[in-house]
Structure 1
Amino acid sequence: MSTLLEVSGVSVSFDGFRAINNLSFRIGAAEMRAVIGPNGAGKTTFMDIVTGKTRPDEGRVLWAEKSQSLLKMSEARIAQAGIGRKFQKPTVFEDQTVEENLLLALKKPRGWVAVLSYRPSSADFGRVKELADEIGLGDALPRKSGELSHGQKQWLEIGMLLAQEPRLLLVDEPAAGMTPAEREQTTAILVEAAKTRAVVVVEHDMEFVRRLNCKVTVLHEGSVLAEGSLDHVTSNKDVIDVYLGR
């Protein structure tokens, strides 16, 4: 399997605290990966580095077939290169309908002339319907986004990211605050997305991670502590000591 993202020997300190310590991580082009670990393990900082929000003190972050350095790109350029990130709290345009939110998110030229003159085509509406069906909101297209449940807003935001056709999707604690039925639907959305792109899910909920049925990376003190199936990492003595035994 070809490597899409390679993080190699990356370290970063904040005020003398080493948030990431010689971290190496790689993910393939169409792969689901769960990242777990205690608070302060470096999970959010790892995502900040990949998306250009935080610059490491040392190491390399290489992207796609040409092994481009993400460290030389701005946050906007990294997003354009195909890296999408979903934060914990959903951010959708609440006064706009589900359809309007998805139309706004479609991958289009972003210059101001293009934006001002944009009129959705029938192909755009067709793509939006496909996305809405994929995230379980096919019947909710005319609804105002502010009326949606917490779980539905999360799905809409995932749909908005998918509309930008990312090659890597970073998702932070998608199951938080969801009903069991919503969590099941979220699992299905992410598993489907990972068939055609890389999906990295940071999550605390072990039941949710088990449903994803994927390789798990455990971070501790900014480094990889263990990697493998969920059963493999949860039977690792070091993982039990630092994370599961709490």
Structure 2
Amino acid sequence: MTALLEVSGVSVSFDGFRAINNLSFSIGAAELRAIIGPNGAGKTTFMDIITGKTRPDSGSVTWGERAISLLNLSEAAIARIGIGRKFQRPTVFEDQTVAENLILALKSPRNPFAALAFVLTGEGRARVAALAAQVGLGAHLARKAGELSHGQKQWLEIAMLLAQEPRLLLIDEPAAGMTLAEREQTTAMLVGIARTRAVVVVEHDMEFVRRLNCRVTVLHEGAVLAEGSLDHVTRNPAVIEVYLGRG
């Protein structure tokens, strides 16, 4: 199976510190992957490289069936070809309703007021409703985003990413600050999304990763330390030593 994203032999240093060290990684077009590792393992820099925020010193990052080099593209161009990123803290328009947030994401307009008027009376209405339902916010379209719980804001931002029709989602610590019920719903949501597109989840919560029931990549000192099921990697002596701790 051809990989959707292929990272090969990538390294990058900052002021003499090697943040990413000969890292190779690949993910398929409809795959859920969890990335774990201690602080400083290179998880954020890894995502920065994929999204064009950081340029590596060496290696290659290719995308899609035509193996397009992402290293030649701007951050905006990388987003346009289908890579969406969600940071840990949700960034939504709190004074706008859930529906308005989704409409703005759907159209990416220069004039938001004109775009709102257009989509609310056009065919975008059904798409907005479907996106909200997909993330469990179907009954909250008229609520202001600022009134939502932390977990609901996370879901809204995921829906805003989905509005752009990405082929790959990079999601940073989605379970942080969520209630148990929200975490369970987030698990089901991400598993469902990964049936039709690639999803990479960076997460510290091992129980959340276990519920995802997916392939796990362990990073350490900017390189892949282990890869496989969660049970497989957590039995690896090197992972136990550097991440899980002795005993």
Scaled by the length of structure 1, the TM-score of the pair is 0.96
Q: How far is the alpha carbon of 1:188 from its aligned partner?
A: 1.0
Residue in structure 1 matched with residue 198 of structure 2 by the alignment = 198
For residues 87-109 of structure 1, what are the alpha-carbon distances to aligned partners after superposition, in whole Å with 9 as ceiling and x for unaligned?
Answer: 00000000000000011111x4x
Q: Distance in 2 between matches of 1:19 and 1:224?
A: 12
For residues 160-180 of structure 1, what are the alpha-carbon distances to aligned partners after superposition, in whole Å with 9 as ceiling and x for unaligned?
Answer: 001111000000000001100
Residue in structure 1 matched with residue 217 of structure 2 by the alignment = 217
Q: Distance in 1 between matches of 2:177 and 2:52?
A: 28
CA RMSD of aligned residues (A): 1.3
Q: How far is the alpha carbon of 1:227 from its aligned partner?
A: 0.3
Q: How far is the alpha carbon of 1:112 from its aligned partner?
A: 4.2
Residue in structure 2 matched with residue 143 of structure 1 by the alignment = 143
Residue in structure 2 matched with residue 56 of structure 1 by the alignment = 56
Residue in structure 2 matched with residue 182 of structure 1 by the alignment = 182
Q: How far is the alpha carbon of 1:2 from its aligned partner?
A: 2.5
**1:44 is matched by which residue type in structure 2?**
T
Q: Distance in 2 between matches of 1:235 and 1:122?
A: 54
Aligned to 1:3, the other structure's residue is in SS state coil
Please list, as runs of the form range in 1=range in 2, the aligned pairs for 1:1-246 lying within 5 A after superposition. Answer: 1-106=1-106, 108=107, 112=110, 118=115, 119-120=118-119, 121-245=121-245
Q: How far is the alpha carbon of 1:189 from its aligned partner?
A: 1.0
Q: Distance in 2 between matches of 1:229 and 1:34?
A: 10
**1:130 is matched by which residue type in structure 2?**
A
In structure 1, the gaps of 5 or more residues are none
Q: Distance in 2 between matches of 1:83 and 1:237?
A: 34
| Distance 1:215-1:22 versus aligned 2 partners, 3 A rule | same
Aligned to 2:62, the other structure's residue is in SS state strand
Aligned length, in residue pairs: 243
Deviation >3 Å, runs of 4+: 110-113, 115-118
